[in-house]
Amino acid sequence: MAEPVIPSDGELLRLMVAGDEPAFTALYRRHQGFVYRFALSMSGSTDLAEEVTQEVFLALIRQAHRYDPARGALEAYLCGMARNQVLRLLARERPYVPLVEEAEEGQAVLLTQLIAHDDQFRDCTRNEVIRSVRQAVLALPTLYREVLVLCDFQELSHAEAALVLDCPVGTVNSRLHRAHALLLKRLRVMGRFDSAAQDTQGTRCFA
C-alpha cells in the first residue's frame, strides 16, 4: 500500500493562498509550536507568545507573497517574523517587565544540580533546574538570548539561525559562545556555584 504523501510547505502555502482552509490549518498546526515556543523562550510570557503566534500567522495569511522560497525554509521565515514581533512587543512592554529574581537564600541552585539525579526528588530538582535555566536565559541581553534560544532551545543549525537573524554564521558562533559564557556566569551567581572554573578564574593555562 502506498504511503500517504505529506504535502510540502510550498504546496500547502500555494493552496492556502488559493483559499484552501485545510491547507492553512495544516500549515498552522505544523509550525505553530515552533513559533510559539520561540516566543515563549524569548519572553517568558505565555500571553506574549500567544500574541506573537497570532501576529505571525496573520501576516502569513495577508502577505504570503512576501515569502520567497529561494531564501530559505518557511520555518525560518516564520521564525524571523516571530523574532521581529517579539522584539517589538518586548520593547513595548519593557517598562513593565519584572526584573529577574536574584537568587535568594534557600532558592539557590547549584550548577551541578543541572545534572538530574535519579532519586525521589528528581522531579523537584528537574523543575528547579528548568526554572533556573529559564530565568538565566531571560536575563541575557536580547542579542545573546535569541541566538541561544534558536540554537539550543529550537535546535536550529548555526546556518539556519544565521538566516533567521540575518547575520553571518560566524557571528552566530561567536554570539553563542558569548551567550554560554554569560549564562554560566549567571547560573554561578544564582547558584553560588563553587566550581574549579570559578576558583581558577583569572589563571592562564599555557599548556
Partner 1 sequence: MNCQGFEQLVLALARDQSLDAAVREQSLAHTEVCVRCAAHLAEERALLTGVRAVVADLAEQEAPARVEAALLTAFRQQVTTAPPVVIPMPVRARQWTSWQRVAVAAGILIMVSVPAIVWQPSSSRNQLREARAGSPTPAITSGPKTPLPTPSALDRDRDTAQQLVAPRPRHRVRHQASANNSDEAEVVTEFFPLRDGEDLTALESGRLVRVELAGSALSEVGLPVNPETVNTPVKADVVLGDDGLARAIRFVR
List residues binding partner 1 (CB under 8 A).
10, 13-21, 24-25, 28-29, 32-33, 35-37, 40-41, 49-50, 53-54, 57-58, 61-62, 64-65, 67-70, 111-112, 114-116, 126, 129-130, 132-134, 137, 152-153, 155, 176-177, 180, 183-184, 187, 193, 195-201, 203-207
Query: Closest CB to partner 1 among 61 and 97?
Result: 61
Q: How far is the CB of 75 from partner 1 (least distance, A)?
A: 15
Query: Closest CB to partner 1 among 1 and 18?
Result: 18
Q: How far is the CB of 21 from partner 1 (least distance, A)?
A: 6
Query: Closest CB to partner 1 among 86 and 94?
Result: 86
Q: How far is the CB of 32 from partner 1 (least distance, A)?
A: 5
Q: How far is the CB of 160 from partner 1 (least distance, A)?
A: 16
Of 82, 102, 78, 80, the C-alpha closest to 90 is: 82
Query: Closest CB to partner 1 among 58 and 143?
Result: 58
Burial of 63 (0-12, 13-18, 19+ CB in 10 A): exposed
Query: Closest CB to partner 1 among 17 and 108?
Result: 17
Q: How far is the CB of 1 from partner 1 (least distance, A)?
A: 25
Q: How far is the CB of 193 from partner 1 (least distance, A)?
A: 8
Query: Closest CB to partner 1 among 102 and 123?
Result: 123
Q: How far apart are CA 11 and CA 60, in angstroms?
A: 14
Of 180, 197, 173, 83, the C-alpha closest to 133 is: 180
